[in-house]
Structure 1
Amino acid sequence: MDSRLTIAGRELAGLRAEKTILLAIGIQLFIAMFSSFLVVGLVSMYDPGALDGAEIEVAAAGDAVDDLERAAAEVPGASVTPYDDGDAARSAFERNAADAVVVATRTESGRVSTVVTAPDATVETTVIVVQLRELLRTYELDERDRRTASLDESPLPLPDRGETSPYFSFTYTVLIPVLVFLPVFISGSLVVDSITEELDQGTMELLRVAPVTLAEIVDGKAAAAVGIAPGQALLWLLLLEANGTSVANVGPILALMTALTTLVVAVAVGIAAVAPDRRAAQLLYSVAVLVLFGGATAMAGGPANAVARLAIDSADATTGVLVIAYAGIAAAAYLGVRRVVTAEGFGR
């Protein structure tokens, strides 16, 4: 055990030379420390609908413009100015007197056709498009209600629109899983770099000469990589808590991510054993992690889903079973890889 701890301490001391890893950790630290500020901008990319309410001026024309004006009264921040025809509306748009153009006309079949013009690739485009979408959706619902009154039989009612906050969903389904799982990937990358560098520089042979076994060398390197991951994740969660984002079930979340870190480290050790070249090993590791987590995410009980449910305290017994299952798989994978590497050694 002393030999393993010595090797683990040596690995941790060498982290200062890993500039890329330190930069990745620094980025995570920045995100966690200022999450309450960053989440506002990040949500605008994750869910542009969160931008509803921004003020836009719409130049409208066509024989259905009156109905469009009534719909605009129901959309906060949207105002419609009618023009005699489409050319006049587009002229106002070109003069920057309007943010967008909507030409709404009724066809012979009774349908309403709309042609929308919005700015092309400007900073305001996303805001304008979101508000236009909300305006046209409201217009469609109003038109549906007006026509429903003339039907002999009422159609099936539309479900009520949800009022969930995009900030809440982004924080618990994207931000927290990202901060929890990034240390997992970093730990695996550390193991790949550590072993391949030892092989490349010939220091692995020096370790073999020392009074330690190959199993102890692998255990020491794995212990260092696995040990730093939950510490990082705990720090990120505490910083989120300080920023006003409450996270439930911190213990089970850390247990899950530790199990996944062990699994990824086992994969990293196996890759380093079969591909001792550093560049090839890192490429194989990246592909393996993408396949592993991509497949797991596609499952209903994937790691990201489990973390989100645990964080909002909506986990059920199935989630607990999944955490235990991940721990069992990780332990079996590591012990299996450790046994093979100990028997076969690292290639050259």
Structure 2
Amino acid sequence: MERRAASRRGQPAYGHDALIACDRLVRVFTTDGVEVQALQGLDLLVAEGELMALVGASGSGKSTLMNILAGLDVPTAGAAKVAGRDLLTMDAKARLGYRRDVVGFVWQQTARNLLPYLTALQNVTLPMQLRGGRRRAARTKAAVELLSMLALDHCRDRRPHQLSGGEQQRTAIAVALANTPSVLLADEPTGELDSHTAEQVFTAFRTANEELGTTIVIVTHDQAVASEVRRTVAIRDGRTSSEVLRRTERDAATGQESLVAREYAMLDRAGRLQLPAEYTSSLGMEYRVLLELESDHIGVWPDRTADGAGRGRGGAGEDGAKGSGVAEDGGEAS
């Protein structure tokens, strides 16, 4: 045991090379004496320069995660680090500096992103002014460059009510980028837009990612947006459950390129694996499963014992496992 502990001490910390590292993240809310676990040991790593999406049903915990990463909420337990900042231990002053310098945020509701009495140019320069350290001419020059990069030259002297919904959201992206943050977070940024306008907004995110190298994390229900990124992480019941990775492949015979997407189940730090509900239900997997270690894979089999079959017929629902899609007991291979 001592040798094992010594070998672990020599290993790099979890997520040491990631820009965003969430390790067994827990967030518990208490309302009228009732505890609700929004995050239940969530693990997530995001590399510097990534453009990725988070998806999940309402109540899955994705908005709670975004609020923690934005510095608007504090985890109950676990660890969360962004660009070397520890989100669990920061005091109020450090948290304010974090929101000002490290992270930018774009809300779904445009009214929360822009001040209605300022022009687009003034909205973008305001965060720079509050941060300090730049002369007015330098702030204006930087703001003009951001608006130009996002194809908003014609909007610089217009107030928010004079902009279309897409122009408002692209201006909001420019505001979020004003202080050159390490991370840009966006919560359903295309939720109130039509598909054509949503594509323009996503193009703005892609431009920021490619030209500025900004790491961007987008929470979305829009499958069109989710399919535009190389990596989509799904959250279910407060944990990361699956991940879709997309890559471009070239056909050796024709030379034609195509986008290939592959879905993976996520294995968290505790060894837990969430199996898709449609898989488990089709095989009658309830309460527990049988694991078999092979030379190059792990087999997961329905429990066919008399005890297991009995639970599957009548008792699984009483233990809360029926239809959950989470491999309990035997499914949590440590």
Structure number with bigger Rg: 1
Tell me whether the two structures share a fold, i.e. TM-score over 0.5: no
Q: Which has the higher strand share?
A: 2
Q: Which has the higher helix share?
A: 1
What range is the shorter-chain TM-score in?
A: under 0.3
TM-score, with structure 2 as normaliser = 0.27
